[in-house]
Chain A
Amino acid sequence: MTRRVAVTGIGVVAPGGTGATAFWDLLSNGRTATRGITLFDPAGLRSRIAAECDFDPLAHGLDPELRDHADRYIQFAVVAAGEAVRDSGLDSGREDPWRVAVSLGSAVGGTTRLEHDYVQVSEHGRRWDVDHRAADPKLHLAFAPSTLASVVAEQFGAQGPVQTVSTGCTSGLDAVGYAFQTIEEGRADVCIAGASDSPISPITMACFDAIKATSPNNDDPEHASRPFDANRNGFVMGEGAAVLVLEEYEHARARGAEIYCEISGYATYGNAYHMTGLTSEGLEMARAIDTTLDQARLDPTLIDYVNAHGSGTRQNDRHETAAVKRSLGDHAYETPMSSIKSMVGHSLGAIGAIEVVACVLALQHQVVPPTANYETPDPECDLDYVPRTARPRKLRNVLSVGSGFGGFQSAVLLTGPDGRTR
């Protein structure tokens, strides 16, 4: 018999507020958390705006080692995981630790810390033969991407399969997807799953400047992220983390856990086209959607909401619109599809997990979060993008899709308590 996968806990650190309550408050009110960059001096950059987290590590009870030494993205993840585990009511003392897994995603990992120390050891980019004596002795923790899953596993006593997933901007979706597969296939009963990134740094901003992928709307940061709008001109960088406790369905029921919803499908494909470019047809993303629907044996007409990748680049939003139309057919025109990146920016690998949590909350509240800043329709993007205002709606099956550098195209399907599945 197939093992079903329940969501029993959620936690989030996002721009505009820490915790699921603050996060949903922002989304359901259509507020934006994008602003001029304060984390460093962005003078000279083309895009000088971002969605930053007002995150105070002191306020979250992190142990002193983590508070003083861990990278910002690790701190985000530990705080989000703490919220998710508390929310799930899981008592780690009662779990078999070998049956508890961790699957966390990050696109750029410790690069913010790596850059910070690089500046010291290279004397501001003057030396190729960098001076090791100026480096932090714990720099290896920023160098090793697996630090993310390792620290979280250690914090929560997980001894099962522990993985860091790094598939660029689909890392968050894929980390949730791998976790789903881990439980479905019986390799664990519980999985702490999600993603974290803190990419608001000179090198990451500069590398997206170089390809003009980020928005130069520096004069109006609050309205800079404009997914699906005819006047969109790139994404706005974000940061944050989201973590879910995924659990084998019967395991959750047996301990009397409250179940938010189920993860009922996951698929990913490569577009084998271009590292950054997307076709206008969206064939591979459509295939990812089709595969998740097949797994759940769900008719496309039963999709009630699509949480879009909706980065706000010209090509992405067109690509994604085409993909959803290809998979859902005429039903696409009746299905609300929104992008929360309009409010919380694009936190690279983290955003996929943040968006899955947004879907969990949408199912819980039976409300579709809006696409903020959407004003001017684009003839190439002709679906219902839920402009500016959240919308109550009967939600049973919700799809979250993502697309990332490297050609990754992923989809996660969530099914509410009264959704039709299997």
Chain B
Amino acid sequence: MIIEVTVDELAKLMKKAAGVSVDPTDLAHSSDSPFGTLGLDSLGLLGIVGELENRYSKPLPPDAERCKTPREFLDLVNTTLKAGA
């Protein structure tokens, strides 16, 4: 099974971990916008990283919490998860 974190998933995580409501379609369209403009701060992103690490029992690289945009983040997360599959 190939695990992939989708934009939908990320939207749900943003809501759960950081209280940021964002429509998945909008998030897909703005996947190159900085997290900051979407209302997600550094602690929120750390929360999402922690959530994913626990869910998949796999550490993400330190760069994960430094990602600036949804696209950058999802690319890194999915590359990491695939590499370990």
User: Separation in Å of the B63 CB from the closest CB of chain A?
Assistant: 12
**Judging by beta carbons under 8 Å apart, are A277 and B50 in contact?**
no
Contacts of B46 in A (CB 8 A): 210-212
Most buried by A among B43, B50, B65: B43
Contacts of A277 in B (CB 8 A): 41-42
User: Separation in Å of the B51 CB from the closest CB of chain A?
Assistant: 11
User: Separation in Å of the B61 CB from the closest CB of chain A?
Assistant: 12
Contacts of B43 in A (CB 8 A): 211, 275-276
Contacts of B41 in A (CB 8 A): 274, 277
**Judging by beta carbons under 8 Å apart, are A210 and B65 in contact?**
no
Contacts of A211 in B (CB 8 A): 43, 46
**Judging by beta carbons under 8 Å apart, are A210 and B50 in contact?**
yes
Cα–Cα, bound, A275→B43 (Å)? 9
Contacts of A210 in B (CB 8 A): 46, 50
Residue of A nearest to B47 (CB): A210
Q: Could you mark each residue 340-366 of chain A with 1 if its beta carbon is under 8 Å from any beta carbon of chain B, else 0? A: 000000000000000000000000000
Contacts of A276 in B (CB 8 A): 42-43
Number of A residues contacting the other chain (C-beta, 8 Å)? 7
Contacts of A212 in B (CB 8 A): 46, 62, 65
User: Separation in Å of the B13 CB from the closest CB of chain A?
Assistant: 16
Number of B residues contacting the other chain (C-beta, 8 Å)? 7
6 tightest A-B contacts by CB? A211-B46, A277-B42, A276-B43, A210-B50, A211-B43, A274-B41
Cα–Cα, bound, A277→B42 (Å)? 8
Cα–Cα, bound, A210→B43 (Å)? 9
Cα–Cα, bound, A8→B2 (Å)? 69
User: Separation in Å of the A208 CB from the closest CB of chain B?
Assistant: 12
B30-57 residues at the A interface, CB under 8 angstroms: 41-43, 46, 50
Cα–Cα, bound, A210→B62 (Å)? 12
A13-71 residues at the B interface, CB under 8 angstroms: none
Q: 14 A-B residue contacts at CB 8 Å?
A: A210-B46, A210-B50, A211-B43, A211-B46, A212-B46, A212-B62, A212-B65, A274-B41, A274-B42, A275-B43, A276-B42, A276-B43, A277-B41, A277-B42
A269-300 residues at the B interface, CB under 8 angstroms: 274-277
User: Separation in Å of the B39 CB from the closest CB of chain A?
Assistant: 13
Q: A210-B46, A211-B43, A274-B41 are in contact. List 10 more A-B contacts (CB 8 A).
A: A210-B50, A211-B46, A212-B46, A212-B65, A274-B42, A275-B43, A276-B42, A276-B43, A277-B41, A277-B42
Cα–Cα, bound, A241→B62 (Å)? 34
Residue of A nearest to B46 (CB): A211
Cα–Cα, bound, A282→B54 (Å)? 36
Cα–Cα, bound, A275→B18 (Å)? 14
Residue of A nearest to B62 (CB): A212
Q: Could you mark each residue 247-280 of chain A with 1 if its beta carbon is under 8 Å from any beta carbon of chain B, else 0? A: 0000000000000000000000000001111000
Cα–Cα, bound, A212→B53 (Å)? 14
Contacts of A275 in B (CB 8 A): 43
Residue of B nearest to A275 (CB): B43
A199-216 residues at the B interface, CB under 8 angstroms: 210-212
Cα–Cα, bound, A212→B62 (Å)? 10
Cα–Cα, bound, A17→B42 (Å)? 37
Cα–Cα, bound, A276→B50 (Å)? 17
Contacts of B65 in A (CB 8 A): 212
Cα–Cα, bound, A212→B46 (Å)? 9
Cα–Cα, bound, A275→B46 (Å)? 14
User: Separation in Å of the A272 CB from the closest CB of chain B?
Assistant: 14
Cα–Cα, bound, A274→B43 (Å)? 10
A177-223 residues at the B interface, CB under 8 angstroms: 210-212
Residue of A nearest to B41 (CB): A274
User: Separation in Å of the B45 CB from the closest CB of chain A?
Assistant: 11
Cα–Cα, bound, A275→B42 (Å)? 10
Residue of A nearest to B42 (CB): A277
Cα–Cα, bound, A315→B64 (Å)? 18
User: Separation in Å of the A209 CB from the closest CB of chain B?
Assistant: 10
Residue of B nearest to A211 (CB): B46
Cα–Cα, bound, A276→B44 (Å)? 12
Cα–Cα, bound, A62→B50 (Å)? 44
Cα–Cα, bound, A276→B41 (Å)? 10
